[in-house]
Structures are given as C-alpha cells and as structure tokens.
Amino acid sequence: MNKSSIVVIGSTNTDMVIKTDRLPSAGETLLGGSFFMNPGGKGANQAVAAARLGGMVSFICRIGDDLFGKKAREMFDKEGIDSSCIFTDEIHPSGVALITVDKNGENTIVVAPGANATLSPRDLRKTGEKITAAAVLLLQLEISMETVEEAVKMATSSGTRVILNPAPAQHIPREVLENVHILTPNRKEAELLTGIRIDEGDLEAASSAASSLHETGVGTIIITLGSEGALLYRGREFFHVPAPAVKAVDTTAAGDVFNGALAVAIAAGVGMKDAVHFACKAASISVTRLGAQSSAPYHHEID
C-alpha cells in the first residue's frame, strides 16, 4: 500500500429495516410498512463510502461463516475494497442490526454484534503492514476497545493519521485519545462524552463540548450536527461548516458517509476546512436515499 491509502477497521452487519410512520414507544407494537435488508455496520458503511468517493480502501473486520458473511465479502469485492484482511469466525454469526425508520427519516437501531466482537489485537498484528503503510486509519467503536487501542498504537508508531468516530459513545482511555488526530462525534455522542447538552442550533454549547474534548489530547475535533453541518475545532479556532439543504428520507448512515468522505479528503491532502465541507456534501446526499451503504454517493455526485 502507499501513503494515499485508507484502512478502515470495524464492524460489518446486515441491516434489517422497517419503515413506519413514527417510532414506537416502550412496550408498543406498531404495524409498519415496507421491509428490506441492506448491508450495514459502521465500519463497512465507512469503507464503502470511502471507496465510492475514490479512496484506496482496505477493510479489516470479522464475519461469520454464514450466508450474511459470504454476501458481505462479495459486496466488498464488488465495491473495489481490498478484502484480503477479512477474518472468518467459525463460531460466532455475522452481525445484524434491527432498524426502524420513521416518515421524517429518523431511526432507532439495535445491533447484535456477533463476530464483530471477536476482532482482536492478534488479528490486527497479522495485518500490521496494511495499517502502518496507510495514510489514514479510520476507526469506530463497534469493536472491542482493546482492539481499538492496538490499532491506534500501530498507526501512531508509523505516522499514519488516525480518525476515530466515537460511535456508539463510551468511555475512551486517555492514552487512546492522546494518539487520535481527528475525533468525529455527532451531537449526542459529544454530549455523552462531555456531559454538555447540545440542543439543535446551539453552536455555543457545541463549541464548549469541542473544547472539552480537545483537553483530552485530541488535536482536531469535528462535531457533526445533522442538517446544520459540522463544527470544526482546530488550533484553538472554531469553524462552522454548513450542510446543503435537502429533504431527509433516511439518516441511518449519514455519519458513516461523513467519516468515509473525510478520510478520503484527508488521505488526498485536502485542507481540513475543505475536507469537512466535502464530507458534509457527501452526507447530505446520503440522507436523501434509503439504506446504509446503498445511500453512499459516488465522487461524481459530489462534483
């Protein structure tokens, strides 16, 4: 691999989606509308988004020895993603996600991680050259924190830039954050990580959360704000990057598309503000379409 390449480490799932007028409350059964299955998982979504936008992408993950796993590998090959570092788990099934999407495009998601949870530091050491030779390493938190720690350690030892999407939000060890170059929480994840409530439209609260996250040792913070775009904090300066106005149909993988696009721009040497602008445009296109990976745009669509 060369230094313009991207390595994504993370989860791959099969998404089982039901469309409904509104999201159910606790204990309630709703009669929904259409049902469909799509490939998903935060890691896989980000790998596909990066590949469609022109990135040279390798994906490291674990799949089950089942139909879902075989279909996932076929899909990665079709998307032009290097799948040589995908491990097959003989014991655990492939991951699945149950998703409900309402008429406004909002969603609830429950994930059964399956083989994703067994991706280990030992697996990463078998693929070390991929990580150390890459320009960018893109990570999320649907795999074990122990594996995330190992990946960050391997990347920083060779000068590979690390983007961490802290989703789903959880405690992140200080030694990991100190070696992350770019942290990309959404509004809710930033709240959970800092305790600072960020209401819609409250850029002041988002700025306070970004400052708090910067104090953990991360150089650059990007808080994604949905239809409001993103807040970039770098070099003690704040920049609000607005998103194009669109009608959302399904927001399921918008954050994943944002991160995949960001990785492509950073690997290509694009400046940070322009990289965030590019990522906002890509994410805005994705919310106008149903599905996770199926919503990811191609580079010519951004142009």
Q: Which residues belong to the active site?
A: 256
Enter the tokens of residue 249. Answer: 């149909």
Is residue 15 within 8 Å of residue 97, measured between CB atoms? yes
Six-digit token string for 9: 């480490």
Give all strands of the β-sheet with 237-241 in edge-to-edge order: 86-89, 57-64, 6-9, 136-139, 161-164, 182-183, 220-224, 230-234, 237-241
What is the spatial distance between Cα 152 and Cα 157, in angstroms, rounded to a whole number? 9
Residue with tokens 């920049």: 239
d(CA 81, CA 31) in angstroms, rounded, equals 38
Strand partners, 13: 40, 95
Q: Which amino acid is at 64?
A: G
> Distance between CA atoms of 8 and 139, rounded to whole angstroms?
6
Select from 162, 158, 157, 161 the least CA-distant residue to 172.
162
Q: What are 138's strand-pairing partners?
A: 8, 163
Residue 191 · residue 165 · CB < 8 Å: no
Q: Please state the φ and ψ torsions of residue 82, each to the nearest 5 degrees.
A: -70, 110
The DSSP secondary-structure symbol of 120 reads -
The one-character DSSP state at 101 is E
E-only strand ranges, 135-292 = 136-139, 161-164, 182-183, 220-224, 230-234, 237-241
